[in-house]
Structure 1
């Protein structure tokens, strides 16, 4: 097993991407509306897009098309025309990645501090790999992470716990020394299935629901609070009553 770092509460930190590390909803909405316009459909709102984020951009596009055409999501998913529609979205989103997104406050210095203390850092997102790479590269974040697990890296994605298990084995770190930092009930469920700790930020995308409803172990007001256990002078993390 990897030696624990006494100055940190955890040795392995898994981070969701959209809504946790990076504010991406505006440029995702731009790409969705670029796609809808090309398909001759009316645009959707930024609020709707925020509520659809979580299961990967493919599912988000399905929700948008269902909303604009009045069809069931399953019908859109099964439509032979969907592959071509998804290709239109891919072209637009690849062009939009990095144009209207930004890391949330205190993300970069916190990642720097965790790495300096010897922690292992992993991105665990349901976003498809080609888009994950573009977002991380656009904001110079890739170098902070030991591994990036996207929605199509492994056979299954969150809330299945395989990404957590893969990371625990890869880095030889005990389950009790691992935390998933996210923004949604998907992240909480993933952590519960993997039997690891889960801390959540309150500012991300949780399908329109307050994150407290998902009962993470802690709600951290911003990234500075991730270091609160190691550095009590930082902003305190907020425990959640179960």
Structure 2
């Protein structure tokens, strides 16, 4: 049953809300930075700062490691990707991140309460992240969030990842939701581009990871200060953005 069909929820503008993970639902940068620096130390390279790691988040952990190694070696990202030793470095990072995953992350204020309220209202909830699934599941499990979502789409769930709109299109089809009844909530230009490519509305939080740029520069439909704007009661006061 859709949110619009439920008693007391007829005014809800969305039947499906898709959420980015890192920087939107959960603050993960500190533990990602720990894993990056564990890896750099093992490779004999200088540590990265939290600000640097935060700017590298968004395209999945493989690309994050590429950026970290390029920065510390003074080389290009393409050179790192082409390095025959990159696979070994990636294996080191995977080992460290699996150990760090869930250790210093936490859901942002209001996230759990909003997800529970949306679940009670019958709104479908889907995670769409570029993080690989083994890490996505560990983060969600660490914070007991798995049961709050109808579906989790990670960076390696489908053949392509954000900003390709396939995850959105697949969810619309799976749940029988029209584009104008769907919303993507994120924190970065990647999320805005994904929503634009999919033809759905996009709202962004200002506190996440947008490669060091203000989220307003990406022109989402709305910038919401926090998750309180997503409570069903708040949504009924707002018409869906075109």
Scaled to the shorter chain, the TM-score interval is over 0.9
Counting only pairs closer than 5 Å after superposition, residues 159-170 of structure 1 correspond to structure 2 as: 159-170=163-174
Matched-pair contact (CA < 8 Å) for 2:3–2:14: no
Matched, 1:118 2:108: no
- The Cα shift of 1:160 comes to 0.3
Aligned twin of 1:32: 36
Aligned twin of 2:4: 4
Structure 1: 5+ residue stretches without partners: none
Aligned twin of 2:84: 80
Q: Equivalents in 1 of 2:27, 2:235: separation in Å?
A: 25
TM-score (norm 1): 0.94
Q: Aligned residues, how many?
A: 235
The ranges of structure 1 where at least 4 consecutive aligned residues each deviate by more than 2 angstroms after the TM superposition are 1-5
Aligned twin of 1:48: 52
Q: Equivalents in 2 of 1:116, 1:7: separation in Å?
A: 15
- The Cα shift of 1:4 comes to 2.9
- The Cα shift of 1:59 comes to 0.3
CA deviation profile, 1:138-158 (whole Å, cap 9, x unmatched): 000110001000000000000
Q: CA RMSD in A?
A: 1.7
Q: Equivalents in 1 of 2:72, 2:37: separation in Å?
A: 11
Matched-pair contact (CA < 8 Å) for 2:17–2:124: yes
Equivalent in 173, 195, 215 of residue 191 of structure 1: 195
- The Cα shift of 1:2 comes to 5.2
Q: Equivalents in 1 of 2:179, 2:2: separation in Å?
A: 12
Q: Equivalents in 1 of 2:157, 2:106: separation in Å?
A: 24
TM-score (norm 2): 0.94
Matched-pair contact (CA < 8 Å) for 1:7–1:117: no
Q: Equivalents in 2 of 1:3, 1:131: separation in Å?
A: 31
Equivalent in 188, 208, 222 of residue 212 of structure 2: 208
Aligned twin of 2:178: 174
Structure 2: 5+ residue stretches without partners: none
Q: Look up the SS of the partner of 1:4 in the other structure.
A: helix
CA deviation profile, 1:90-145 (whole Å, cap 9, x unmatched): 00000001111000000000000000000100000000111001000000011000
Q: Equivalents in 1 of 2:3, 2:28: separation in Å?
A: 35
Matched-pair contact (CA < 8 Å) for 1:2–1:171: no
- The Cα shift of 1:3 comes to 6.8
